[in-house]
Amino acid sequence: MPTDFIRAFQRNRGAVFGVVVLGLMLLLAIFADLLFPTSPWDMTAAPFTPPFDASAWLGTDTLGRDIASGIAHGARVSLLVGVVATAVAVTVGVLLGAIAGYHGGRIDSAIVHFTELFQTIPNFVLVVVTVAIFTPSLFSIVGAIALVSWPPLARLVRGEFLSLREREFVQAAITSGQSTTTIILRQILPNSLSPIIVSASLMVATSILLESSLSFLGLGDPNAMTWGFMIGSARTVLRQAWWMSFFPGVAILLTVLALNLIGEGLNDAFNPRLRRGRRT
Q: What is the pLDDT of residues 201-215, one digit of tens each?
A: 999 999 999 999 998
Highest mean pLDDT among 45-49, 55-59, 70-74: 70-74
Residue 53, beta-bridge partner list? 56
Q: Which fold has domain 2-279?
A: MetI-like fold (1.10.3720)
Tens digit of each residue's pLDDT (9 = 90 or more) over 89-103? 999 999 999 999 988
CA 35/CA 27 separation, integer angstroms: 10
Count of alpha carbons within 13 Å of 4, Cβ hemisphere only?
A: 7
How many contiguous H segments (helices) and E segments (strands) does the chain have?
A: 13, 0
Query: What's the confidence (pLDDT) of residue 62?
Result: 87
Q: Check whether 193 has a pLDDT greater than 50.
A: yes
Using CA atoms, how far residue 263 sits from 16, 108, 259, in Å, is: 11, 29, 6
Task: Classify residue 56 by burial, with Cβ atoms within 10 Å: 0-12, 13-18, 19+.
Answer: buried
Average pLDDT over residues 41-60: 87
CA 212/CA 218 separation, integer angstroms: 10
Query: What's the confidence (pLDDT) of residue 135?
Result: 85
Residue 194: which pLDDT band, with cuts at 50, 70 and 90?
A: confident
Q: Check whether 276 has a pLDDT greater than 60.
A: no
Q: Check whether 279 has a pLDDT greater than 50.
A: no
Query: What's the confidence (pLDDT) of residue 277?
Result: 45
Nearest CA among 75, 73, 61 for reference residue 22: 75
Query: What's the confidence (pLDDT) of residue 273?
Result: 53
- Domains in the chain: boundaries: 2-279
CA 181/CA 86 separation, integer angstroms: 23
Tens digit of each residue's pLDDT (9 = 90 or more) over 101-126? 988 889 999 999 999 888 888 889 99
pTM for this model (two decimals) = 0.88
DSSP 57-103: TT-B-TT-BBHHHHHHHHHHHHHHHHHHHHHHHHHHHHHHHHHHHHH
Q: Are 127 and 148 in contact (CB under 8 A)?
A: yes
Q: Check whether 1 has a pLDDT greater than 60.
A: no
Query: What's the confidence (pLDDT) of residue 275?
Result: 47
Query: What's the confidence (pLDDT) of residue 46?
Result: 87
Average pLDDT over residues 234-257: 90
Residue 56, beta-bridge partner list? 53
